[in-house]
Amino acid sequence: MKYEVLINGHSHQIELERAAKGYQATVDGEAFAIDAAMTARDVLSIIHDGRNYEAKREYSLMGETHIIMGSERFEAEVRDPRSLRSRRAAAGHEAGPAKIMAPMPGKIVRVIVHEGDEVEAGQGLIVVEAMKMQNEIKAPKKGKVTKITVAESATVNAGDLLMIVE
Amino acid sequence: MFKRILIANRGEIAVRVIRACREMGIESVAVYSDVDRRALHVRKADFAEYLGPAQASESYLNIPKILAAAKRSGAEAIHPGYGFLSENAKFARACREAGIVFIGPSPESMEMMGSKTKARQNMKKAGVPFVPGTDTGLKSAAEALEVAEKIGYPVMLKASAGGGGKGMRMVTSSKELASALETTQSEAQRAFGDSEVYIEKFIESPRHVEMQIFGDTQGNVIYLAERECSVQRRHQKVLEEAPCSFVDPDMRRRMGEVAVQVGKAANYVNAGTVEFLVDAKKNFYFLEMNTRLQVEHPVTEMVTGIDLVHLQFRIAAGEPLPIGQQDIVLRGHAIELRVYAEDPDNNFFPSPGRITRLISPSGPGLRRDSGMYEGWVVPLDYDPLLGKLIAYGENRTQVINRLRRALSEYFIGGIKTNISLFRRILLNPDFQAGKVDTGFLDRLLKEPIEGDERTARRVPIVALAAAIFAQQPPPGTQPSGNDDGLHNIASRASQTDSSEAPGAKTSGWKNAARHEGVGR
């Protein structure tokens, strides 16, 4: 099976085939014979060339996948070329409205901007409080605030839509 | 000794105190709010009393509710932990009036140390060294200008009722002073209900070193050596160690004697901590006193061999200190890492939520004080401290290497934690050389993260792992009773290695267990 895997934003072409013990794979054309064993949910033990690795998978609240190896964290995104979802995700990345979502569950303590405001990239939009800390969420890009879906003192969950910047 | 103690706290510190209770044959009473019914401290205690809603003012900060819980459960004493009501003199007094022992100092000592300006005035009388500045609240901008001129810029404006890094502002020139004073005062009024602000000389790149003291009801006070707490972010401690590599035996003795002076001047009973700022020339200045057990108390326990919570119980029960100053001998080195539910890659955003996977390190020289377990949901209502990883060793280098090893074993899945930050700190040459000050971590965080050759070797393996994981269903979407997606690799592994040929529907766990049994 072929995959495109983005590790920390860098694209890698993967070919993965089951073999007698583990997998016969290539990464960007280079051959890798690996022995892989899932030792627990989200914990994968890999032996390659006699060297032992342990990869752990976790999901951030925003739904991104992270792979932990040793104490290093890698951002990982797998694009199965046949999957509609990943094609959509790829298309949504380039332009169009930016959805501002709650990065964590918490309470809205301040809405800094108004609908119709023009904002610069990096400008503070909204302040969410959780665990006794206030966190300002900033505009990911320059644009216009077209919609605000929450009011001050509202409680939000991770991933809830807060506003849209176009 | 007490028969039953109520712990008016939650999280790792409540678990820590419950463990001490069990070790001393004392029954423990946990308290909990709506969101903490499943918390570890409630599971570990002998008794549990419900307080109320998640909001701290309705639960862990609610004095009448906690006293009622103590009465109901028949607790003779209350351990307040740290935070919440631990430094609240009103609470200590209410306990006394209710006939319950407060495990800590008297309300009078707490009041004396609670206000920074009051503490300054009293400590000055006792001959304790201070950072140059005012002992009383500033009356006017003119007074602030005059004092600042005398002690020299930069200066710090500090709210008398402030703490934990809140209510402070640095001023570098006379032009900014008047407006900065006004802002600090109004902030202090809003945050603490008290607008009193005083002024202090700003010490450049200071270290934050604190001295653990213990007093008994007979008037004896001893010091249990220092802790280095300079590694801080936004004035919150992240890593602490004992002893401090910058402090030599003579300086330790002088600081210790000053700390004992402070304790005696406050008629201090039980565990307390005297905080000092230390400049590059090894001058030390009294900062404040914390009238409670500190988060970082384990590093002192490791290097002195004394269990501070056991000692707290004994002192609170009226026993004299069982040891004298000459009995305190330091051995080895200890470092504590504070594991927070926050994302170091995303501006340290808090990260509450379910812990889907917890793999904890073990092995030589490690101690974990933690309030979490796999499957537990970290509530968003309280402090993000999940637990502490403490390492002990012969010397500082061994402890650093031990912690690096332990971190490679540590995994907390489902939420973000600051574990990766510690790897950066422990690898930093300045940290390894013991060259830290309170600005160390902010400087480190501004440096770009560089991967080493190991990172380069890992990347293709990580990419392969990601692809293999992608063939597995994500957590939470797993239909119950169907294990094949999750465990097919484990099943395949045991299939190749053992004679057993499990069917597709057999759990990989069972096979793995069988296989392990055979291997042994």
The architecture (CATH level 2) of B4-103 comes to 3-Layer(aba) Sandwich (3.40)
Q: Which CATH superfamily is domain B115-130+211-235+244-330 in?
A: ATP-grasp fold, B domain (3.30.470.20)
CATH 3.40.50.20: which residues of chain B?
Answer: 4-103
Among B41-45, B115-119, B242-246, the least confident range: B115-119
CA-to-CA distance for B492 and B502, rounded, in angstroms? Answer: 9
Asked if the model's pLDDT at residue B32 lies above 80, the reply is yes
pLDDT band, very low/low/confident/very high, at B292 (cuts 50, 70, 90): very high
pLDDT band, very low/low/confident/very high, at B507 (cuts 50, 70, 90): very low
Cα end-to-end span (Å), chain B: 47
Please name the residue that has the structure tokens 């069917």.
B503
CA-to-CA distance for B17 and B15, rounded, in angstroms? Answer: 5
Mean pLDDT score across all residues of chain B: 88
Asked if the model's pLDDT at residue B55 lies above 70, the reply is yes
The catalytically annotated residue of B16, B252, B292, B396 is: B292
Question: Quick one: pLDDT at residue A95?
Answer: 58
Q: Which residues of A touch B413 (CB under 8 A)?
A: 42, 56-58
pLDDT band, very low/low/confident/very high, at B110 (cuts 50, 70, 90): very high
B383 to A48: CB separation less than 8 angstroms, yes or no = no
Element (H, E) at B93: helix B89-97
B460 to A27: CB separation less than 8 angstroms, yes or no = yes
Peptide bond into B80 cis (omega under 30): no
CATH 3.30.470.20: which residues of chain B?
Answer: 115-130+211-235+244-330, 332-446
Among A55-59, B42-46, B227-231, the least confident range: A55-59
Q: Say which residues have a Cβ less than 8 Å from residue B309's Cβ, sequence separation at least 6.
A: B16, B17, B20, B79, B293, B297
pLDDT band, very low/low/confident/very high, at B111 (cuts 50, 70, 90): very high
pLDDT band, very low/low/confident/very high, at A25 (cuts 50, 70, 90): very high
Among B87-96, B185-194, B365-374, the least confident range: B185-194
Question: Quick one: pLDDT at residue B164?
Answer: 59
Q: C-alpha distances in angstroms, A72 versus B55, B72, B405, B422?
A: 36, 49, 13, 11
Provide mean pLDDT across the span A57-68.
76
The conformational region for residue A96 under phi > 0 = left, psi -120 to 50 = alpha, else beta, is left
A119, A146 contact by CB (below 8 A) = no
Mean pLDDT score across all residues of chain A: 84
CA neighbor of B376 nearest in space, from B400, B358, B389: B358
Among B262-266, B413-417, B474-478, the least confident range: B474-478
**A38 inside 8 A of chain B by CB:** yes
CA neighbor of B79 nearest in space, from B40, B26, B115, B25: B26
User: Which residues, numbered 367 to 406 in chain B, qualify as contacts with chain A under a Cβ-Cβ cut-off of 8 Å?
Assistant: 380-384
Provide mean pLDDT across the span B7-20.
98
What domains lie within chain A, and their CATH numbers?
Answer: 2-94 (3.30.700.30), 98-165 (2.40.50.100)
Among A43-47, A153-157, B114-118, B382-386, the least confident range: B114-118
CA-to-CA distance for B19 and B43, rounded, in angstroms? Answer: 12
pLDDT band, very low/low/confident/very high, at A60 (cuts 50, 70, 90): low
Q: Which CATH superfamily is domain B332-446 in?
A: ATP-grasp fold, B domain (3.30.470.20)
Let me know if B331 is exposed, middle or buried by CB neighbors in 10 A (0-12, 13-18, 19+). exposed
Name the token pair of B34: 């709506």
User: Which residues, numbered 460 to 499 in chain B, qualify as contacts with chain A under a Cβ-Cβ cut-off of 8 Å?
Assistant: 460-470, 472, 474-475, 486-490, 493, 496
E-assigned strand segments in B302-458? 333-340, 342-343, 349-350, 353-354, 357-359, 366-370, 377-378, 385-393, 411-413
Provide mean pLDDT across the span B145-167.
84
CATH 3.30.1490.20: which residues of chain B?
Answer: 132-201
**Predicted complex ipTM exceeds 0.85:** no
Buried b (16+ CB within 10 A) or exposed e, B274-310: bbbbbeeeeebbbbbbbbbbbbbbbbbbbbbebbbbe
Query: ∠B137-B138-B139 over CA atoms, to 5°?
Result: 110
- The pTM score is 0.79
Asked if the model's pLDDT at residue B52 lies above 70, the reply is yes
- Is residue B96 annotated as a catalytic residue, yes or no? no
Asked if the model's pLDDT at residue B499 lies above 80, the reply is no
Question: Quick one: pLDDT at residue B520?
Answer: 40
Q: Which among A24, A72, A138 is the top mutation candidate for probing chain B, defined by the most B β-carbons within 10 Å of its own β-carbon?
A: A72
Asked if the model's pLDDT at residue A83 lies above 70, the reply is no
Among A64-73, B142-151, B295-304, B466-475, the least confident range: B466-475
* Bridge partners (DSSP) listed for residue A106: A156
A41 to B382: CB separation less than 8 angstroms, yes or no = no
The architecture (CATH level 2) of B132-201 comes to 2-Layer Sandwich (3.30)
